[in-house]
Amino acid sequence: MDGNRVFGRSPVLLGHRGCGRGTVNGHQENTLGSFLAAVDAGVDWVEVDVRRTSDDQLVVVHNPAGPDGVFYADITAREAAARGALRLEALLAALPDSVGVDFDVKTSMEDATRDRAATTMGRLASIAVREARRREVLVTSFDPGALDIARQLAPGVARGLLTWVDFPIGHAVAAAGHLDVQVLAPHWGSLRPNDKEPKALQRPLDYVVDLVHESGREFLAWCPGVKFAQRLLDAGVDALCVNDVPTVVASLLAAPARS
């Protein structure tokens, strides 16, 4: 890592759920094939959704339940694997050490009844610490409580606050500034006029990015399209979590990286 920076001095790309949301080039999201295809396409990092099963194991799935309404928190890791869920340890064993991992911690409702060490983040903590010894690692979550557990149980691992689609960017910047996190990770929709914040209520993009940097944090925007991704890079963001990885990599690698 470059000093205390999470992403280094040049902007990096993260593959969202591997090669991207849904199916990209025949690879279904959050499958081993999708992650390895993203690596082959040239991403620096991958974003990995993490959920806890009933037997305290971790699997790589985005939604809390499958299409049939069965919740992963209610079944074992073996049952989840039989339904197609990728075990986290299998993914980490297959990823080259040169690829960074952003663990997107998906807190479950059931975590409310557990001690901190037994929550989804608590189960991930030792794995995140282990992985940080051999690769770049970031723990992100929409749940500030999970990030506080990460601070306690994996204090040397970088943390990032995720904010939801079209979440007011002013609140997001201030919240990250008040938390002990190294990265702010808003959805790209928060960075342009939207139903919640029309243009008159938004600061310019450059202003927002500069203020995040002035607060001592790095800026990771998630899920922009290619055109807006380039605007974000021009504004000086540190990282982009992208869908359709092959297309985005091919498009953005042609553009000069900032020094």
CATH number of the domain within which 128 lies: 3.20.20.190
Q: Per the domain annotation, does 57 fall within a domain?
A: no
User: pLDDT tens per residue, the chain (259 residues)?
Assistant: 455 899 988 999 999 999 999 999 999 999 999 999 999 999 999 999 999 999 999 999 999 999 999 999 999 999 999 999 999 999 999 999 999 999 999 999 999 999 999 999 999 999 999 999 999 999 999 999 999 999 999 999 999 999 999 999 999 999 999 999 999 999 999 999 999 999 999 999 999 999 999 999 999 999 999 999 999 999 999 999 999 999 999 998 665 444 3
The closest of 113, 87, 101, 89 to 140, measured between CA atoms, is 101
Q: Per the domain annotation, does 93 fall within a domain?
A: no
The closest of 211, 174, 167 to 190, measured between CA atoms, is 167
Number of structural domains (the chain) is: 1
What domain range includes position 198?
A: 12-25+34-49+99-252
Q: Per the domain annotation, does 206 fall within a domain?
A: yes
Contact predicate 108/75, CB 8 Å: no
Q: Per the domain annotation, does 229 fall within a domain?
A: yes
Q: Tell me the two tokens of residue 119.
A: 């929550």
Q: Per the domain annotation, does 147 fall within a domain?
A: yes
What gap in Å lies between CA 243 and CA 17, rounded to an integer?
8
Q: Per the domain annotation, does 77 fall within a domain?
A: no
The crossing angle, in degrees rounded to 10, of helices 144-153 and 120-132 is: 50
The crossing angle, in degrees rounded to 10, of helices 245-252 and 226-235 is: 50
Contact predicate 169/188, CB 8 Å: no
Q: Per the domain annotation, does 112 fall within a domain?
A: yes
Q: Which residue is listed with tokens 């000069």?
A: 256
Q: Per the domain annotation, does 20 fall within a domain?
A: yes
